[in-house]
Amino acid sequence: MTTSVGVLALQGAFAVHEQRLRECGVAARQVRTPEDLSHVDALVMPGGESTTMTLGIKREGLADPLRAFVKTGKPVFGTCAGMIMLDREHLGCMDTLCRRNAFGRQIRSFEEDLDIPGIDGEPVRAVFIRAPWLAEYGDAVEILAEVDGHPVAARQDNMLVISFHPEIAGETRVHELFLRAVK
Ligand code: GLN
């Protein structure tokens, strides 16, 4: 059976994630309903707008199925708004608290070169768009990268979260890091 990686496709940057996953050689499929979620082995939660995404999750009855999905240990990759979805104040899957728009609003979109453990070679060119950072986190959370002393990439159990947009930097190394956790 081929591994199928879902991309939460309620709102936000899901289409480009699908493209990047296909470039990595995996079968990507859109997840919009609990039924869709039951067919995937891993999940990407894309960037977008966390308030809208929260409403979509509620509308589709996806909150409990998403929590259950995380509990099964299947790999989950949350980027930007997706990272916010996983925190204590949203789905409550990760022992983190995100500060939304932490770097400021539109005007503070920026790029930064980041060294991320597990990614060899050149630093990753990280594109931040109205990005959050982790304002708080518990002992189970491993911080992978920071900007100005604020955590922007982290891992807890089967969850990888980053506050930037890896899908628009024209490379797949961050997706590959995530996919290494996918059997
Ligand atoms: N600022 C957005 C929010 O709070 C997240 C931005 C993003 O996903 N690029 O929902």
pLDDT tens series, the chain, 183 aa: 578 999 999 999 999 999 999 999 999 999 999 999 999 999 999 999 999 999 999 999 999 999 999 999 999 999 999 999 999 999 999 999 999 999 987 667 999 999 999 999 999 999 999 999 999 999 999 999 999 999 999 999 999 999 999 999 889 999 999 999 885
Per the annotation, the verdict on 165 as an active-site residue is: yes
Please give the number of the atom of ligand 1 that sits closest to the Cα of 128. Answer: 9
Per the annotation, the verdict on 90 as an active-site residue is: no
Q: In what order do the strands lie in the sheet with 150-156?
A: 27-31, 4-8, 42-45, 76-79, 159-162, 150-156, 142-147
DSSP 130-167: S--EEEEE-TTPEEEEEETTEEEEEEETTEEEESS-GG
Q: Which residues line ligand 1 (CB under 6 A)?
A: 47-50, 80-81, 84, 100-101, 129-130
CB 54 within 8 A of CB 22: no
Per the annotation, the verdict on 167 as an active-site residue is: yes
Residue 117 tokens, joined: 């453990």
Please give the number of the atom of ligand 1 that sits closest to the Cα of 13. Answer: 8
Which of these is catalytic: 80, 90, 93, 175? 80
Which of these is catalytic: 17, 90, 165, 175? 165
